[in-house]
Amino acid sequence: MTEAATVLAAGAVATAEAIADGRTSARAVVETTLARIAAGNDRLHAFITVLAEEARAEADMLDALQARGQHRGPLHGVPVAVKDIIDVSGQRTRAGSITRDHLPAAAADAWCVSRLRAAGAIVVGKTHTVEYAFGGWGTNPIAGTPVNPHDGATHRVPGGSSSGTGVAVGAGLVPIGFGTDTGGSVRLPAAWCGTVGHKTSMGLVSRAGVVPLALHFDTIGPLARSVRDAAVMSQVMLGSDPADTSTEGAPGLDLVAGLEMGVRGLTLGVLALDPGIAVDPAVAASFNAAAAALEKAGARLVSVSLPESLQAYTQSCGDLMMVEGAHHHGDLAREAPSRLGEWAARRIGGGFDIAATRYFAGVETRRLRMAAANALLVDNGIDALILPTTPAPAVALSQVDETAAPGIFTRFANYLEWCGVSVPVAPTPTGLPIGFQIVAPQFRDAMALRIARSVERAVGGPLPLPA
């Protein structure tokens, strides 16, 4: 194995450090990455576009800077994949749909992409997504569904809507990639593809240059090999952007410095799940083992119930999401439904069936529920909540029920404007990844990542890449 291959397998931070130390080069890293994509993408269907020549040119420029003693930033020379609802200059943003094929190429990078380029990251391609990012299973009947890399025999769901990025990182094609999370779309593919996924707090990262689904819930976040890689990528993206007013007044956070502080002295709420939700025994066992490890490391675990059921948050989030989806993309559902996938058309069009009075009542109810949930954590001295990311491992594509919401354990964080991290823990006996989720109040991202790093340490580090 070459040095480039070795450090890429270790992740983004290790790759940048190796380039900085002169043990490898940005060009060698890019060539290794492109070779991996060429060898695996036909089967995995992770990338919709590979920017080979652009990536080589950028790598050569970074190596020239390195030769002059200049270092672009903490991701100097690190390959990154971009979910195809996020603008990359000179590339069409398809959002997983043929309905956007007539649009011109993006004139500029999205804010988040420009921030990563400024830190030295190299965009190597754009990844598949659920159509208009509206779906948690990761399915796309129009553009094709990426293949979960952890089962070579059965096509299992990758999780969505950041499906291609989850597969690309989970398979080791790239060390980091962009996802977006409106109801779980970073954390679901993270859990099912065996990566770390950070759903950033609302208002922490600008959505400028990203195709919207529901701006009251949309967030940008990384999928990465390790918690540290995710924290570094998120750190690079932070900053107030006038083009996205949600970022006004966001605090300056250090997401990296406290990662190794551990959990001693923290109070973690083990979230009570709704009666009737069936949790796979392997998921329950892995979650319980990781939670016990946190307790052994010094955390105090308490059982806690949120003021409303998970189903109530999930349903309310879905209703508001559909109305906003209809606002942004409803013309397609009305005028060209045959050009959309069946379920994208139903979800987007469903927003027209929700009366304005019901929508505004939902907005008011949400404000009250946010206040109540935040007060609950403060009153009980709870630093963060822990729960599984999903009730079950990735199912076979043939078993998907598109009427069901796989984000029953994730949507409440978007609804409450909180942050969340999914970190892989012990896999099932057949090798399917299982996600452990940490959820914390808005702008407590550093705390959520710190706890996630403790989980990662407790289970022996990042999940091994699939063979």
Q: Residue 58 corresponds to which tokens in the numbers above?
A: 């950028």
Q: What is the CA radius of gyration of the chain?
A: 21
Name the token pair of 138. 């990761």
Given 163, 185, 206, 234, the catalytic residue: 185
Report the alpha-carbon distance of residue 365 to residue 383 in Å, rounded.
24
CA distance 74 to 192: 28
Among 277, 228, 239, 225, CA closest to 410 = 277
The residue length of the chain stands at 467
> How many alpha carbons fall within 13 Å on the CB side of residue 369?
23
* Catalytic member of 161, 162, 201, 422: 161
Confirm whether 296 is a catalytic residue: no
Spell out the residues 6+ positions from residue 428 whose beta carbon is closer than 8 angstroms to its own.
Answer: 280, 282, 393, 434
Bridge-based pairing of strands 300-304 and 267-271 is parallel
Instruction: Clarify whether 161 is annotated catalytic.
Output: yes
Q: Which long-range contacts (CB under 8 A, 24 or more apart) does 37-43 make?
A: 37/124, 37/125, 37/168, 37/173, 37/174, 40/171, 40/173, 41/173, 43/147
* 269: CB partners within 8 A, 6+ apart: 301, 302, 303, 304, 377, 380, 382, 384, 385, 386
- CB–CB of 111/243 below 8 Å? yes
- Cα separation values, 253 from 25, 116, 119, 250, 407, Å: 31, 17, 17, 9, 27
Q: Do β-strands 79-83 and 419-425 pair in parallel, antiparallel, or remain unpaired?
A: unpaired
- Catalytic member of 83, 126, 201, 454: 83
Q: In the chain, what is the straight-line distance between the N-terminal and C-terminal CA atoms, in Å?
A: 15
Mark whether 83 is an active-site residue.
yes
Q: Which residues have a catalytic role annotated? A: 83, 161, 185
